[in-house]
Amino acid sequence: MEMKPVNSSNLTAVGYDEAKKLLKVAFKDGSIYTYEEVPKALYDGLLAAESQGKFFNIQIRTKGFKYTSFRPS
C-alpha cells in the first residue's frame, strides 16, 4: 500500500487499499494503525482536510472502526 506523507502535528503518512477498504495511518511516535471497512470518501476527506489530525480524530478514531496496531520497539 502506498503511503502518502501528510502535513500534521500528529500524523506522518496515510495510505488506502480501496479493494480491501483498509486505511493505514502512521503517527509521529512510530506507531502504525490499520483501520478496516473505511469508506474511500473518508480517506479522500482526510487527505483534503485543512487539519488532517482533527479530521482523523473526529471522523475515524472515534467512530468504532475495527483496527490493528503496530509499534516498533
Q: What is the mean pLDDT of each run of 10 residues along the chain (73 residues)?
A: 93 98 96 98 96 95 95 77
What local confidence, expressed as pLDDT, does residue 49 receive?
95
Place of cell 520497539: 73
Grid cell, residue 68, equals: 490493528
Q: How confident is the model at residue 72, as a pLDDT?
A: 77
Q: Residue 12 has what pLDDT? A: 97
pLDDT at position 29 is 93
Supply the DSSP symbol for 60.
T
Residue 11 backbone dihedrals phi, psi, to 5 degrees: -100, 150
Rounded CA separation 8/22 (Å):
20
pLDDT at 60: 96
Residues, the chain: 73
> Which pLDDT belongs to residue 71?
86
- Single out the residue of 43, 24, 29, 39 nearest to residue 72, CA to CA: 29
